[in-house]
Chain A
Amino acid sequence: MKPLPARRVVAKATRALIFTLAGLLLCAALFTACTPKFIGDYDATIDSGVTDIQQRTEVYLGKIKQDPSTLYDPNFYNDINARLVALKTRAHILPQYPIIEQQIQELQGQFDRLQTLDKGMTRPFPIGAIDAAESAITVSVESILKLELALKRGDKNAPSLK
């Protein structure tokens, strides 16, 4: 038997996940005959906070890409960490926000690893390594923003993320 291509497997798994979860929750809600809410509302502070972190990161990594001899700057990491702690605290107190709180924690972990890499890397910093780190952070930021914008729930004026 020919194995399915990886993309089809991911697509099938994604669909199966959504249908299964939705099906289970649909049954539960119909049983109780209530109009349910399973996840919190859009939060502009988290949206703008995460976007701001990405902008600052682009500036910092952009500088290193422009001049790979640029030295490690601990202030950048202290600043980003303080912002992430504040966002995580906010996510923690918002109702039904554990998913985004977990995503912010993932982002914190990524910055910790980037800091270790940046601190220990001899200069010139390999551009490929910066690109790899930047890409991981971008995927995480996009994931948070995709979900955050979806939490606007059908607001026709809401911005969208492809």
Chain B
Amino acid sequence: MSLNAGALAKKMLAAALPILTTHAVDAEAFASVEFKKIADTIVSIQIMLQAGQINNQQAELLLEMQKSASRSVLLTLKGLSLLTAEEAINAALAVVRAVVNTALKFPLIP
């Protein structure tokens, strides 16, 4: 039996795309909530500085903490992207596993 690349690709895309979309929406929701918190806090630092409640050095320390929090959010997004890719690839390979392995007569896709 010969394999049809176009048909295989179509099946794989159909399996992977919903996973990519779902995880992208989830990651977006997470990033949006966390960045809103960081933005609100940056505004409050400016207000405290203007009111003389904290000095420049203290404002810088607090701002650095917010920057670090932003990096942590981005690292989570990176991790979630890797997980999403992993899940999408496994789903794409799973839908063509039987047909590919049968055609090749050996388990190319475990």
Contact = CB atoms under 8 A, between A and B. Distances in A.
B71 interface: yes
B65 A35 contact: no
B53 A128 contact: yes
A123 interface: no
The main secondary structure of chain B at its interface with chain A is: helix
A17 B76 contact: no
Interface in A131-154: 131-133, 135-140, 142-144, 146-147, 150-151, 153-154
Interface string B20-54: 10011001111111110110110011011000011
A43 to B, nearest CB: 13
B89 A103 contact: no
A36 interface: yes
Interface residues of A, number: 58
Interface stretch (A56-64, A80-88, A113-121): A113-121
Q: How large is the interface on B (under 10, 10 to 19, 20 to 34, 35 or more residues)?
A: 35 or more
Given A37-B86, A143-B75, A110 B69 contact: yes
Nearest to A37: B86
A22 interface: yes
B95 interface: no
B85 A126 contact: no
B30 A39 contact: no
A121 B61 CA distance: 12
A117 B61 contact: yes
Interface in B42-82: 44-45, 47-48, 53-54, 57-58, 61-62, 64-66, 68-69, 71-73, 75-82
Interface of A: 7, 10-11, 14-15, 17-19, 21-22, 24-26, 29-30, 33-39, 99-100, 102-103, 106-107, 109-110, 113-114, 116-117, 120-121, 126, 128-129, 131-133, 135-140, 142-144, 146-147, 150-151, 153-154, 162
